[in-house]
Chain A
Amino acid sequence: MRSLRKQTWVKKNWHLSALMLVIVILVNLPVLLMVMNSFKTNTEIMTSSSFFPQRIQFENYVHVSERTKFWTQFKNSWIVAFYGTFFSIIVAAFAGYAISRFRGRILSLFSNSLLMLQMFPLILVLIPLFVLFRTLHMIDSHYPVIILYLTVHLPFAGWMYKGFFDSIPKDLEEAAWMDGCTRVGGFLRVVLPISGPGIAAVAIFSFLFSWNEYMIANVFLRNEEYMTIPVGLQMFMQQFSTDWGGLTAAATLAMIPVLIFFLFVQKYMIYGAVAGSVKG
C-alpha cells in the first residue's frame, strides 16, 4: 500500500516536471531564438524557420568584434558597473548599519525617505542633471553615470543591508566595545567581516543594475566611444535594422556576463530580492 502510493507520487511529479520544462522553454523562447540566430548567416535567418542553425558559424561575432565599437562599449560597461558597485557597497553599508542600529528622529526621517525614493521617477532626476552636467561639459563622461547609479541603487541596497545587520546579534559588537573598540571600529571589524553574504548580495544587485541600465546611460552617453552596451545595442538596433545576425550576436555577448554572474550567485540573489522586497 505504502510503496504503491509512493510510486504514483513519483510518477505524478514527473508529469509536473514535464509541464515545467515546457513552461521554461516557452518563457525563454525569445532568448533562445536570439542565441540561435546569432550562429546563423543573415540569409538563413531570413529564409529558414528552423530553430537550430544548419551549420554553426561565428561570422556575426567576427563582424561585431571587427566592425563595431562593441568591445569599447563592453569595457565602458565594466568601468561603470565596477565603480558603481564598489561605491554602492561602501556607502550603503554605512546607511544600512545606521538604520539597523541607531534610533532617533533624524534616523526615522532618513529611513522613510529611502522608502519614498523608490517611487521617484527617474525622468525627474534626468532633466535637471542633464542641464547641469551639460553646463559642466560632463556629457559623455562616466562620472555622472556612476554617481547616478550609485544613488539610484542606494535605497534598495541600504534596506538590504539593514536586513542583514538586523540578523546579526548585537552582543558581538557590545563585546568589542567592552574591549575598547569604537562604534565605527566595531562596525568595521566585527559586523562587516561576518556580513560576507550580505555584501555579496548587494554587490550582485548593484552590478546587475548598472550593467543592465539603459535610461540614464542613454541620456548622458551620446558618443559611441563612451556608450555602455545597452545604449550601443540600441543604436545598433536602429542603424542596422536588417542585420539580425550582428544584432543578435552583440546581444548574446552582452548577456553572457549577466548569466555567469547570475548562475554563480543566484542563491544570494534570491535571498536579497526577498529581503529587499519584504522590507522595502
Chain B
Amino acid sequence: MRDERASAIGRNGAGGPGGGLLRKGALLPIYFILPSVILIAFVNAYPFLSGLLYSIRDGTLLKPGSFVWFENYGRLLQMPEFWNALQFSVIFAFFGVVGSYLVGLGLALLLNKDMPGRGFFRVALLVPWVLPSVVSIVGWRWMIGSQDSFANTVLGWFGIEPILFLGTPNWAVFSVTLIKIWRSFPFMMISLLAAIQTINQELYESAHIDGANRWQSFRYITMPQLKTISVVCWILMTIWCFNDFDTIWLLTQGGPANATENLIVLAYKYTFTKNALGIGSAIAIVSLVLLMVLAVLLLRLQREDD
C-alpha cells in the first residue's frame, strides 16, 4: 500500500513539467517546498500584507472603511492603554523568561544526578507543559481563583487573611506570571538537561583534581557549555511569552483594571470585541516589529560575546 503510493508519487515527480534533465534538476527543490510556500503565502504573507492595509484604514469586521493612513498609529501612541499593555508585555516576558529559566536550570541540575526514580520524575515534571492550556487554567482557578479557594484555605491555617489572587491588580500580575512560568519551565528543563548530559565528564574530573569546588565547576564548566542552548531558549521563550494569549485571557481576560493586559490581548479586544479593526491591526503590527527588534538584539548579544 505504502509502496504503491510512493511509486505513484515518484512517477509523477519524474514525469512532471520541466523539460530537459538539467532544468528539472534545478526545479526539483522548488517542488519539495512548494506546498509549504503556498500555505505560508496564504496563512502568513497574505495576513501580514492585509494586516498592514487594515492598520492604515478605519474599518470594522463588517466593512473595510476608508484610508486614514497613520492616524491609527498616532492614536495608539497617545493611548494610555497601549503604553500600559506594552509595559505589562515587557514585565511578563522578562519575569517569564528569567523565572522559567532559573526553575528549569535548577531542576535540570537535580535531574542530572543519579537517583532512584529519575525517569519518573523527569516525565512527571513535563506535565504542565503538555496539558492543554484550558485544562491547566481550570486547575489553577480552583487553586487560587476565589476568596475561599484552596490556596486561601491553606493560608488560613497560618492565620493569613484571604488574598484575591486574580482580583487585585498586583496579585493578578504576580499570579499570571507565576502560572506562565509553571507552564514554561519544563521546556527549559529538558532542553538544558539534554545539553548538560552532553558535557564531557572528564572536564569535571580534571577540575576536581585541580582543586575546584562545586560552585567553581558549575560556574566555569557547566555554564559556559550551556551558553548556546540558553540563548536559543531565551529567544524562543521571549517570543512565546510576548505572544502569550491563552494564559492571560483564560485567567483574567486582561483584568482587573487592565493590569494584566498585554499587547496581544489588547489587539484581540480591539478587533473582536470593540470591532475596531484598524487599531487592532496596528497593535498587532507593532508587536511584530517589537519582537523582531528584540530577537535581533538577543542574537547580536550572543554573537558579540562569542
Smallest distance from the beta carbon of A229 to chain B beta carbons, Å?
A: 7
CB distance from A227 to the nearest CB of B (A): 11
For residue A259, give the distance in angstroms from its CB to the closest CB of chain B.
Answer: 8
- Let me know if B32 and A94 touch, CB within 8 A: yes
CB < 8 Å neighbour of A255 from B35, B117, B132, B243: B132
In whole angstroms, how far apart are the Cα atoms of A109 and B124 in the complex?
A: 40
With A34-B138, A273-B191 given, is the CB distance from A128 to B47 under 8 Å? Answer: yes
Verify A234–B284 contact, CB threshold 8 A.
no
**Closest partner residue, chain B, to A192 (CB atom):** B6
A154 CA / B40 CA spacing, docked (Å): 9
Cβ distance B210 to chain A, nearest Cβ, rounded Å: 22
A-B contact count (CB 8 A): 275
- Which of the candidate stretches A53-61, A114-122, A166-174 sits at the interface with the other chain? A114-122
Which residues of the other chain, B, contact A247 by a CB distance below 8 angstroms? 138
Quick one: which of B7, B31, B182, B287 contacts A123, CB cutoff 8 A? B287
Instruction: Report how far A11 CA is from B164 CA in the complex, Å.
Output: 43
The prevalent SS among residues of B at the interface is helix
Known: A30-B140, A31-B136, A188-B9. A106 touches B287 (CB 8 A): no
Q: Is the CB of A262 within 8 A of B130?
A: yes
With a cutoff of 8 Å between Cβ atoms, the chain B residues found around residue A95 in the complex are 32-33, 35-36
Known contacts A33-B150, A97-B32: does B110 contact A273 (CB below 8 Å)?
A: no
Given contacts A98-B33, A106-B30, A189-B3, contact A151 B190 (CB under 8 A): no
Chain A residue numbers with a CB within 8 Å of B140 are: 30
Please tell me which one of the listed residues B139, B194, B277, B291 contacts residue A127 in the complex, with CB atoms under 8 A apart: B277
Residue of A nearest to B123 (CB): A266
Asked whether B133 is an interface residue with its Cβ less than 8 Å from the other chain, the reply is yes
Judge if B187 is at the interface, Cβ distance under 8 Å.
yes
Q: Shortest beta-carbon distance, A18 to chain B, in Å?
A: 9
| Mask: chain B, 270-294; 1 = CB below 8 Å from A; 0 = not | 0110000100110011011001100
Alpha-carbon distance between A274 and B191 when the two chains are bound, in angstroms? 5
Q: List the B residue with the shortest CB-CB distance to A247.
A: B138
A130 to B40, CA, bound (A): 16
Q: Which of chain B's residues have a CB closer than 8 A to the CB of A46?
A: 148
Query: Given A23-B107, A123-B284, A184 and B13 touching (CB < 8 A)?
Result: yes
When the two chains form their complex, are residues B246 and A254 in contact, meaning their CB atoms are under 8 A apart? Answer: no
A178 at the interface (CB under 8 A from B): no
Contact B35 A94, beta carbon cutoff 8 Å: yes
CB < 8 Å: which of A31, A117, A188, A270 contacts B190?
Answer: A270
Q: How far is the CA of A121 from the CA of B121 in the complex (A)?
A: 34
CB <8 Å contact, A214 and B250: yes
- Tell me the bound Cα distance from A91 to B13 in angstroms: 15
| B138 contacts A28, C-beta separation under 8 Å | no
* Number of B residues with CB within 8 Å of any CB on chain A: 91
Give the interface centre of A17, A184, A192 by most chain B CB atoms within 10 Å.
A184
Question: Shortest beta-carbon distance, A19 to chain B, in Å?
Answer: 8
Given A131-B61, A262-B126, answer yes or no on A30-B139 (Cβ-Cβ < 8 Å). yes
A186 shortest CB reach to chain B, Å: 9
Give chain B nearest CB distance to A240 CB in angstroms. Answer: 12
Q: Does B125 contact A (CB under 8 A)?
A: yes
- Tell whether B29 is near chain A: CB-to-CB under 8 Å: yes
Quick check: is B135 within 8 A (CB to CB) of the other chain? yes
CA distance in complex: A203, B247 (Å): 25
Which chain B residues border A160 with CB–CB below 8 Å? none
Interface residues of A in 214-262 (CB under 8 A from B): 214-215, 219, 229-230, 233-234, 237, 244, 247-248, 251, 254-255, 258-259, 262
**Would B10 and A188 count as touching, CB distance under 8 A?**
yes
Contact B44 A125 (CB under 8 A): yes
CA distance A24 to B186 in the complex (A): 12
A184 lies within 8 A of B245 (CB): no
User: Interface 1/0s, chain A 255-280, versus B by CB < 8 A?
Assistant: 10011001100100010011001100
Q: Is A183 an interface residue when CB atoms closer than 8 A count as contact? A: yes
Minimum Cβ distance to chain A for residue B238 (Å) = 9
- Residue-by-residue, is B118-153 near A (CB-CB < 8 Å gives 1, otherwise 0)? 100101111110111111111111110000101001
Whole-angstrom CA separation of A273 from B13 in the bound complex? 32
User: Is A4 in contact with chain B by the CB < 8 A criterion?
Assistant: no
The answer to whether A184 and B14 touch across the interface, beta carbons within 8 angstroms, is: yes
How far apart are B281's CB and chain A's nearest CB, in angstroms?
6
Q: Which residues of B contact A131 (CB under 8 A)?
A: 50, 61, 277
Residue interface bits A172-211, CB-to-B below 8 A is 1, else 0 = 0000000001111100110010000000000000001001
Question: B: which residues have CB within 8 A of A?
Answer: 3, 6-7, 9-10, 13-14, 28-33, 35-37, 39-40, 42-44, 46-48, 50-51, 54, 61, 107, 110-111, 113-118, 121, 123-128, 130-143, 148, 150, 153, 182, 187, 190-191, 194, 229, 232-233, 236, 239, 243, 245-246, 249-250, 264, 267-268, 271-272, 277, 280-281, 284-285, 287-288, 291-292, 295
Which residues of A are interface residues toward B (Cβ below 8 A)? 13-14, 16-17, 19-21, 23-24, 27-31, 33-34, 37, 46, 49, 91-92, 94-95, 97-98, 102, 104, 106-107, 110, 113, 116-131, 134, 147-148, 150-152, 154, 158, 181-185, 188-189, 192, 208, 211-212, 214-215, 219, 229-230, 233-234, 237, 244, 247-248, 251, 254-255, 258-259, 262-263, 266, 270, 273-274, 277-278
